[in-house]
Chains A and B, each alone.
Chain A
Amino acid sequence: MSDPTLADAINRSQHHGLIARITSQQIFWVFMAAVFACLALTILTDSFATERNLFNVTRNFAFVGIIALGMTAVIASGGIDLSVGSTLVISAMTVSVIMSAGMPFWVGCLAALSVSMLVGAINGVLIAYAKMPPFVVTLGMLSIARSLAMVLSDNKMIYEFGPDHDFLLWLGGGATFGLPHPLIILIILAVITAFAFRQLRWGQHLFAIGGNENAAVLTGIPVARIKVSVYMFSGLMAGIAGVLEVGWLGGVTTNLGQAMELTVIAAAVIGGANLAGGGGTAFGAVIGALLIEVIRNSLILLGISTFWQGTFVGAFIVIAVAFDRFRQEKT
């Protein structure tokens, strides 16, 4: 560049030093907490660092992580999606019912993902065009989608999946190169989501809407369309997790994914998604989900009653938000 001062202005940023920059990120501390918890568990118990347990942990957190990617998009755009647990079950039921009727996997999967996106689209239209509060709309959907899943399956357990039965179980429960498939899919989806957040106009616009919706409107961003797409994205992520979870469990009942929304929101928020809108990363959602699963697993291994789980998840949400507050006051 010919003009050195201009080049300097372009490249300079407020952050000085890499270390200061990294340690100012909430996600760094969350990651350290997860690493610390893993180390402590390895020392305190002989059951944590076993291959079998680690396999379970990675697979379990993958489901929460996948949905947390969608939740992060919704939260970053200034909304909330309480219907993800119900979207997961309606997706799981759709693929199960279709496959148990003798159809191939791809038909069931396509239908399940379409239904999930439709759920998201309905949420999005009511929120963006009818201007209803996201909390109310998705709370209603939480009830409706689960009830429809019960209607669809007649509330029976399904565990026969027709000709592609083995494929479905391999997809959700199997592993390649020692990595459980849900984890592999989580990694792929996280990379795609990170790319979309950072590199696409879609990402720019959704963060702009979350930051200052009024400004987004005034600068001509198609706010309503973007909002609908964000809820559809969230629905799609829950739908993918639903299909995978059926394969992992080898059967599905209508209480699948109950109260899951809270864990997912906790994962997103712990990972740095700002409930006031405008902040969040794909990587953060994954790390947040990981920390929650490690804590959950440690409660079990340390012989602490699983009744305590809710206390931990709830406390985490509050602590993460408090942390964010504290950081904002400081700057």
Chain B
Amino acid sequence: MNVLELKNISKSYGAIQALRDVSLAIEPGEVVGLMGDNGAGKSTLVKVIAGNFAPSSGDILISDQKTVFHKPLDAQKAGIEVVYQDLAICNNMTAASNVFLGREPTRKIGPIKIVDYAFMRKRSAELFARLKSETRPRDLVHRMSGGQRQAVAIARTLLSDAKIVLMDEPTAAISVRQVAEVLNLIRQLSDHGIAVVLISHRMPDVFEVAHKVVVLRRGELVADKKASDSSPEEITGLITGAIETA
């Protein structure tokens, strides 16, 4: 069974064709490295999957069921979560508050519903433990490392029963040690049966975690290979066009 299947997805912005006939299948727990040059269509593909906009043509199948997303909330309900490039995190709030942002649990005191901080802290501590992250629920995000901030953003995706987590350039602007932390988080998700689509320009990161590598070039999917059957050299060739397809 595939958690997600794309069939002949095309997307154009007016005259610009950003995606052309892209087909792709992803299994539970699979980590997919999505690579391509600037403007190849990676972000566009992620946005189509996340329901930010509908494809111009083609089908999306979730757990082998044909699905249409009208808005991001539809995709979220279907188990698709996005870790945004800027992480969508509030620095002035605690890790626990950030994990539950917009979905704060409440308990009733008489007619008044108050935020259930105890539950938020307990649940987010469990999620951080599951991610094997050192992040503490009461800490302000403002003082956290890049890796801990990633953990907060990823813990948020675990709150709802995510099947797929889409990550757009999570390792772009953080230190080497923190990259290792993020890659660990991705492995944890995969171990829990959650598929991850990882967009990255960093070849070593992709080869370290990805089960398979997918290459987009000018909107077309030119490779869909097991990472173990490929090499950074081959992928580089595919990205630049030195190698036609694989």
Contact = CB atoms under 8 A, between A and B. Distances in A.
Contact of A215 (B101, B115, B126): B101
Contacts of B73: 220
Contacts of B89: 212, 215
Contacts of B104: 201, 204
B114 A199 contact: yes
A10 B125 contact: yes
A325 interface: no
B128 A204 contact: no
Given A204-B93, A212-B91, A216-B101, 19 more contacts: A6-B129, A9-B136, A10-B122, A10-B125, A12-B136, A199-B115, A200-B112, A201-B113, A207-B92, A208-B90, A212-B88, A214-B86, A215-B86, A215-B90, A216-B90, A218-B84, A219-B88, A278-B90, A278-B91
A199 B120 CA distance: 13
B106 interface: yes
Contact of A212 (B90, B121, B137, B156): B90
Interface of B: 73, 84, 86-93, 97, 101-104, 106, 112-115, 121-122, 125-126, 128-129, 136-140, 142-143, 156
Contact of A9 (B91, B92, B101, B137): B137
A176 interface: no
Contacts of B114: 199-200
Contacts of A317: none
Interface in A175-209: 199-201, 203-205, 207-208
How many interface residues does chain A have, given as a range? 20 to 34
A331 interface: yes
A27 to B, nearest CB: 16
Interface in A35-94: none
A5 B136 CA distance: 11
Interface centre among A11, A210, A219 (most CB of B within 10 A): A219
7 contacts: A6-B125, A9-B129, A9-B137, A13-B139, A14-B136, A14-B139, A204-B115
Nearest to B91: A211
B137 A10 contact: yes
Nearest to A195: B114
Interface of A: 5-6, 9-14, 199-201, 203-205, 207-208, 210-212, 214-216, 218-221, 274, 278-279, 331
Contacts of A12: 136, 138
B101 A10 contact: no
Contacts of B113: 200-201
Contacts of B88: 212, 214-215, 218-219
A307 B115 CA distance: 47
A14 B90 contact: no
A278 B92 CA distance: 6
A200 B122 contact: no
Given A200-B114, A208-B93, A216-B90, A6 B136 contact: no
B46 to A, nearest CB: 14
Given A204-B115, A221-B101, A13 B138 contact: yes
A207 B84 CA distance: 20
Contacts of B140: 14
Contact of B136 (A13, A200, A207, A211): A13
Contacts of B137: 9-10
Contacts of A219: 88, 101-103, 156
A44 B203 CA distance: 72
A201 B106 contact: yes
A210 B93 CA distance: 10
A295 to B, nearest CB: 29
B92 A210 contact: yes
Q: 8 nearest interchain CB pairs?
A: A211-B90, A219-B102, A278-B92, A215-B88, A211-B92, A13-B138, A199-B114, A218-B88
Given A12-B138, A14-B139, A207 B90 contact: yes
A12 B96 CA distance: 13
Contacts of A218: 84, 88
B82 to A, nearest CB: 8
